[in-house]
Structure 1
Amino acid sequence: MGRNTRKRRTPPAAKAIAVSAALALGGGGLLWANFHASAHESEHRTWGGSQTKAATAQVVTVSCPDVGQKLTNVPNAARQGVATELAALDRQITEAYARLASTRDAQAKDPGFVRNAIVGPLGEKRAATIDRIRIGIQRAGGSFDDALRQLASCTARSADQTTAGGAQQNGGGQQNGGQQGGGIGGQAGNGPVAADFVDITKVAPNVQGRPRRTGNASTGTFTTRCGVNANKNHNTDNVIVAPGVTNGAHHLHDYVGNQKVDAFSGNQTFLQGGTSCRNRDDLSSYYWPVVRVQDGTRDFDQNADGGGKEGNAGRILTPVQADITYVGSPAAKVVAMPRFLRIITGDAKTTTNGLANANAHWSCTGFENKVQLTERYPICPQGSKVVRSFAFQSCWDGQNTDSANHRAHVAFADPASGVCPNGFKAIPQLTMRLVYAVTPPVVRNGQVRNAYAVDGFPEQLHKPATDHDDFISVTRNGLAGKIADCLNRGRNCA
């Protein structure tokens, strides 16, 4: 996913991204593998039982640059082919990850194994794929930056070069409910770890104030009620980033709104897809990675691509509440969203890319106006529920419904003033609030039990900062204009 240079400034690591005013209302990769487990540690013990920490566990990582975020100028005629090749890069990383995680004995015996058998061949595959991207772009009349060839190489990292929410990530037989596997935590052996969690009652308030409203502010709200995906509409595709590619996301999504969204859907499909929304004119697709609880239980996809086969293990949690609200701009009137506008907020690959595009907000009911977390999952007190919130980009370039990196056509408003960047227009800001009933995880002696985590690319280690959300605007009978008019008039509509 591409980097939007017009977005708001991101705070340093370990500092939570402040919640926006709207929230107050409501292929790269990182690979790890354990070199070896201590001799006394069982590979087949049942999660949830007693366990001895492996004293000699060692983790190796391989970091691969994210090619997709660098592609900002791809001719329309080449975009489908480029998207297919970018999906191939993700698949190559997933395959290398699986090999890395399954060859601990060979790695322990041969210090050069990772370089010669995994990193080197991976780089060769990536080089060939990047060259196919070059050919596709140039055949369509576009220009290709030869510096992108340098993104083929991947580098090995040791355990102390990988962080988990600001803390060192290490081996040690992390246990969350599942099979041990000699990994770094999690039911599938690829996270989360104890350092990914924090008791929210011990976090200092970090929510910033809202931008001051101007006389031209659009102060209304528009709520659309689309359910919580109680009908279990799931798939592991991503039609925005990887159209035409089955399992292009490598993790499972919840879908509400439009009911016919998969890798092979198109604009005409969306118009015929039906909707879970009460407003039958809202055919938009709202989709996000599922959250799973890792208490030793499994789900229907435990042996499937995008599920347990790719490190996304545990019981899927359906939200108990899903609030979808459009809010206005504190600085301007908004224009209607164009039909088929696509927006991705957040970055599924922050473990590789860093936090520049992170937009995750984690909190607990009763704490949302005080604490919002980006790099930690909250442990909520008894009686409080886990809350995921998203505030999408609220500025549009006025021309494009998508862009090559799926970011450049939209932007965030300035966090202090609420003003859009030059050349961008304010649009209704989509905000989403998902509430989950989660038994609080317990962290003791560096271990976490009954953890929960968001689904993600297997090499991204289920970090909270990798949380993201996807949206395709599909309305009919003038609904987009009605939403904008409601906000501009300062009304509260549903």
Structure 2
Amino acid sequence: MRWGALITAAAFISPGVNAAGATLRFSCSQLVVERLDPLINPGLMGSPHLHQVVGGDAFNVTMDQDLPTTASCTSCTPTEDFSNYWTAVLFFKAKNGTYHRVKTMGNPLGFGTASGGMTVYYLSSGKVTAFKPGFRMTVGDPTFRTAAQESKYSSLIYTCLATASTRSGSTTGFPKAPCKVGIMVSIRFPTCWDGKNLDSPDHQSHTAYPSGASGGNPGAGDKCPSTHPVSIPQVFFETYWDTSPFNDKSMWPDNGDQPFTWSMGDATGYASHGDYVFGWKGDALQRAMDANCNSDLFSNSINCPTLKTQSLAQANTCNKPVQMKEQLDGWMPSMPGDVVVH
């Protein structure tokens, strides 16, 4: 079963329904769009490619600080979540070779008034151990350009949105035709941890996907490998890219190629990737997982009395000034960092 079908069912859990685990779903508005990457390029003012970031405003060129005590606000609706979540940025390449940044939009299923950003999930199918302070990880590989390479990861997919509720027809590469509502990019992280390392040199080896009947999704039958025996919540992103301004096929290449590229120069889509730095305050995430908290799509609320939350309007006010002064909007001769498609 593809992940789209699983998450559609999970997203519609009603108030009071306690499934065999947690389905915590919430909105994180756009915090900043900037060429920084404190995981892959710590200390470098001007990472190789552009990122879109959500979460606590302690995000910076380095991330060695304690996020809950350093941040002054969070763009996520749970007010105890000062984590940072980020992905590459999508660009449209016109026939004349110029580029235009594609902006994120609020999830039309419940979070339409969010100022872009992404929808974040924490999922479990039973008892899990929440992340520890200092934990970080990545998933995906910005150098991948083939489906065979991308298959290393359990699920990094695209959904071409004919309507806001479209959850079928997912692909591992970019959609080949215009998408009426936009493109939803789904990124999910492994659910097994070695129990020792908060990070690893490649930011991935300390985590692993489970094996089992669910094919890596949280569910009955999953089993963590002996090398990574600790079950952790599954962090899952949905980013909605507003590609509708670029749906005019006369703007697309004459040879029929799709016109979108990631900010690191990937026009295939197979280099989709995500970054995560844990920053929940105290034991807030563990409490939510232990309580099997879930979310109600219809009232846009988190059914989790143990968590403190803020409104989307309040989350929208948490922003961080851009430190890298460069052109991000309008038509550009090249993407930020002079990245070329390769």
Bin for the TM-score computed over the shorter chain: 0.5 to 0.7
Q: Secondary structure at the match of 1:377?
A: coil
* C-alpha spacing 1:447/1:467, structure 2 compared with 1 (3 Å): same
Larger radius of gyration: 1
Given the alignment, which residue of 87, 90, 112 partners 1:291? Answer: 90
Q: Secondary structure at the match of 1:348?
A: coil
Map Cα deviations across residues 147-181 of structure 1 (whole Å, 9 max, x no partner).
xxxxxxxxxxxxxxxxxxxxxxxxxxxxxxxxxxx
Aligned residue in 2 for 1:426: 231
Aligned residue in 1 for 2:136: 342
Letter in 2 for 1:19: W
* C-alpha spacing 1:296/1:482, structure 2 compared with 1 (3 Å): farther
Q: Secondary structure at the match of 2:286?
A: helix
* C-alpha spacing 1:399/1:388, structure 2 compared with 1 (3 Å): same
* C-alpha spacing 1:243/1:326, structure 2 compared with 1 (3 Å): same
Aligned residue in 2 for 1:477: 282
Preserved CA contact (<8 Å) 1:395 1:425: yes
Distance 1:335 1:350 in 2: 31
Q: Secondary structure at the match of 1:271?
A: helix
Aligned residue in 2 for 1:355: 150
Map Cα deviations across residues 202-242 of structure 1 (whole Å, 9 max, x no partner).
xxxxxxxxxxxxxxx84221123321x1x5x1222221122
Aligned residue in 1 for 2:16: none
Q: Secondary structure at the match of 2:186?
A: strand
Preserved CA contact (<8 Å) 1:271 1:283: no
Q: Secondary structure at the match of 1:281?
A: coil
Where in structure 2 are the equivalents of 1:125-140 lying within 5 Å? none
Preserved CA contact (<8 Å) 2:82 2:279: yes
Given the alignment, which residue of 312, 315, 330 partners 2:101? Answer: 315
Which structure has more helix as a fraction of its residues? Answer: 1
Where in structure 2 are the equivalents of 1:370-381 lying within 5 Å? 370-381=168-179
Q: Greater relative contact order (Cα 8 A, min sep 6): structure 1 or 2?
A: 2
For the aligned residues, what is the CA RMSD?
A: 3.2
Equivalences, count: 264
Matched, 1:222 2:20: no
Letter in 1 for 2:121: T
Tell me the percent identity. 20
Map Cα deviations across residues 316-348 of structure 1 (whole Å, 9 max, x no partner).
41323221111112xx42122222211211111
Q: Secondary structure at the match of 2:63?
A: coil
Where in structure 2 are the equivalents of 1:187-206 lying within 5 Å? none
Matched, 1:395 2:203: no
* C-alpha spacing 1:279/1:406, structure 2 compared with 1 (3 Å): same
* C-alpha spacing 1:419/1:368, structure 2 compared with 1 (3 Å): farther
Letter in 2 for 1:282: D
Distance 1:315 1:335 in 2: 38
Q: Secondary structure at the match of 1:475?
A: coil
* C-alpha spacing 1:489/1:290, structure 2 compared with 1 (3 Å): closer
* C-alpha spacing 1:375/1:381, structure 2 compared with 1 (3 Å): closer
| Mean CA deviation greater in 266-275 or 440-449 | 440-449
Structure 1 stretches of at least 4 aligned residues deviating more than 6 Å after TM superposition: 488-491
Distance 1:297 1:328 in 2: 47
* C-alpha spacing 1:445/1:293, structure 2 compared with 1 (3 Å): closer
> How much does 1:488 deviate?
7.7
Preserved CA contact (<8 Å) 2:260 2:267: no
Where in structure 2 are the equivalents of 1:68-87 lying within 5 Å? none
Preserved CA contact (<8 Å) 2:293 2:303: no
Q: TM-score, normalised on structure 2?
A: 0.67
Distance 2:63 2:129 in 1: 27
Aligned residue in 2 for 1:327: 123
For structure 2, the residue ranges without an aligned partner over 5 or more in a row are 12-18, 108-117, 216-220, 296-301, 308-342
Distance 1:360 1:333 in 2: 25
Aligned residue in 2 for 1:237: 36
* C-alpha spacing 1:444/1:404, structure 2 compared with 1 (3 Å): closer
> How much does 1:472 deviate?
0.7
Map Cα deviations across residues 120-156 of structure 1 (whole Å, 9 max, x no partner).
xxxxxxxxxxxxxxxxxxxxxxxxxxxxxxxxxxxxx
